[in-house]
Homo-oligomer: A and B are copies of this chain.
Amino acid sequence: MNQYLFRLEFMVRDYELDMQGIVNNSVYQNYLEHTRHEYLKSCGIDFAAYTRDQINLVVTRAEIDYKFPLQSGDRFWVGLNTAKESRLRFVFYQDIYRMPDDKPILAAKIIGTALNSSGRPVTAPELEKALII
């Protein structure tokens, strides 16, 4: 298993399951987003405050490998690493593991950027600091 910069624990909630009795595909993106926002908060970056200041942190590409489904009652954790993709794009590598056996559930590469109110990519020093490790 990889080393991670940040990790967050969750528990499956039954409303997240679909008729197959497993967590619906789209819900994993919720888990990943919440983990990114909590990571940013741990770096002093408040997503909501950015939004109010009209700096929109947006996802431009997601690559998600679904390895094994989560089910009712499962506990799990999301591990997160960051990297720089280009001058204006950053990457979050995010993996999900079931608890307590650390079975791999999902691996994702999420690419994002920051846009100002006219939709132009922008940089911000504190973002750089959080995202270039």
Contacts and interface: CB of A to CB of B under 8 A. Distances in A.
Interface of A: 13-15, 17-21, 24-27, 29-30, 33-34, 37, 41, 46-48, 51-52, 56, 58-66, 69, 71-73
A45 to B, nearest CB: 12
11 contacts: A14-B34, A14-B47, A14-B48, A17-B19, A18-B18, A19-B19, A19-B51, A19-B72, A20-B56, A62-B64, A62-B66
Contacts of A63: 61-64
Nearest to A49: B72
A1 to B, nearest CB: 20
Contacts of A58: 20, 66, 69
Nearest to A33: B15
A48 B19 contact: yes
Contact of A14 (B14, B18, B64): B18
A21 B63 CA distance: 24
A25 B66 contact: no
A123 to B, nearest CB: 19
